Each structure stands twice: as C-alpha cells, then as structure tokens.
Amino acid sequence: MALSGYALTLAEASWMTVQLAFASLLVGLVLAVIFASGEMSRHRFISWPTTALVTVLRGLPELLVVLFIFFGSTQVLFIITGDYVEVSPFLSGVIALSLIFAAYAAQTLRGALKAVPKGQREAASALGISKLRAFTRIVLPQAIRHALPGLTNQWLVLLKDTALVSLIGVTDLLKQAQLTAAATHESFTWYASAAVIYLVITLLTQRAVKMLDNKFSVQGLSHNQGTSA
C-alpha cells in the first residue's frame, strides 16, 4: 500500500474516533443529567439504585466496563428475546464510554446544580413556571456554566478512553496506528502522527468549549442583571 493509502486509512480511523467520542459525549451528557437527578431525588427507591449504579461504574476499570457491555449485551438480549442478537462493536463502545463518562460527569453536575441558588427555583415557582420548564430553562443553563471546567476535563479523558474500543474490534485512531506501524515497521512515524491528531482534536474542542463558556457567562450575567432589576 502506498504512503497515501496508509495516510488515508489513518484519516478514516481518525473520523471513527471523532464519531465515537462525540456520540459517547452526547449520550453520556443525557445519562449524566439523569444520574445526577436520580442521586439528588428525595425518593429513596430512585436515589439508592442510581447511587449504587454510579458507584459500580466509577469503581470498575474502564476496560472491564467496555468488555462487559460488549459481551454481556448479547447475552442479555438473548435472555430477553430468545434470539441471538449481535450488538455492533461501535454501538457497544458508545454505550460503555457513555456510561463511564456519565458516572463521573454526574458528580460534576450534582455540584453545579447545588451551586445554583434555590431562590431561582422559588422565583420560577412563584411565576407559575412548571418544575420541568424551570429546570431546563433556568437551572440547567446556570449549572452547565459551573460544570463546564469539570466536564471539559472529563471530555479529555473520554477522548483518550476511545482507544479501549480497539479491543472489541473497532478500528479507531490508535488501532489503525498500530496496524500501520506493524505493516510499515515505522512505529515512531505513525504513533507520532496519531499523537498529533489527538492533540489537534483536543485543541479544537477546547476552543469550542471556551466559546461555549463565554456564551453561558454572558447569558448568566444578563440573567443576574435582569433578576437584580
């Protein structure tokens, strides 16, 4: 295979890594909100199981979670449906990485939600705004502003954890770098290329997060000024 061919496969693997990371991030954020809300629930039949699940996910090695989801999901589906259903490695990887990310992000969101003054909820209730609407339109945007620094660090961990899915058959950036290095016997070149690509993805996403942080900071300032008025 020509050098351009190897570079093309590395580019395709990079796109696979980006898809895997962002899909896991989106699903993980939704799960993180659910986990954080569940842990903060006043109902013990909700808070206890949620806390137990988050504790288990945080206590297990990430690799074990990936392998458990990949091999266990097929068995669970067989028990439920009675038919053999093969779950794709990519989907298994997204589920596993989402759960891992959510378990840690939930703790960040809990702290951020507690940082929002209770008076915000009370004012929304006094204005006749439903609890759900008050949470999604008033509380959550402010909580995200507090949570962004922590979530950014967890995103970087998630990006690196995508390398774990190579063990279940997903040809991500690191896996392709390994394959190309073995084929060309130029390990330093291809591992260095993978490192540069990871760094570029990191810098671009950090820039996007900074822009998002500025946006929420402006909204938060406007909201506080409106409240003061």
User: pTM of this prediction?
Assistant: 0.83
Query: For residues 199 and 142, which has the higher predicted lDDT (pLDDT)?
Result: 199
The residues, any chain, with a CB within 8 Å of residue 9's CB and separated by 6 or more, are: 176, 179, 180
3-state secondary structure 50-93: HHHHHHHHHHCCHHHHHHHHHHHHHHHHHHHHCCCCCCCHHHHH
**Chain mean pLDDT for the chain:** 85
Taking only the tens place, the pLDDT of each residue in 1-58 is: 555 678 889 999 999 999 999 999 999 999 998 999 899 888 899 999 999 999 999 9
Instruction: Work out the percent of the chain whose per-residue pLDDT is above 90.
Output: 40
Whether the per-residue pLDDT at 225 is higher than 50: the answer is: no
Assess whether pLDDT exceeds 60 at residue 227.
no
CB 73, CB 98: distance < 8 Å: no
The pLDDT score that the predictor gives to residue 219 is 57
**Second-level CATH architecture of 3-224:** Orthogonal Bundle (1.10)
Put residue 128 in one of left, alpha, beta given phi > 0 → left and psi -120 to 50 → alpha: left
Q: How confident is the model at residue 162 (pLDDT cuts 50, 70, 90)?
A: very high
Residue 133: what pLDDT?
A: 83
Domain boundaries, the chain: 3-224
**DSSP-assigned states of every residue in the chain:** --HHHHHHHHHHHHHHHHHHHHHHHHHHHHHHHHHHHHHT-S-HHHHHHHHHHHHHHHHS-HHHHHHHHHHHHHHHHHHHHSS--PPPHHHHHHHHHHHHHHHHHHHHHHHHHHHS-HHHHHHHHHTT--HHHHIIIIIHHHHHHHHHHHHHHHHHHHHHHGGGGGGGT---HHHHHHHHHHHHT-HHHHHHHHHHHHHHHHHHHHHHHHHHHHHHHHHHHHHHHHHH-
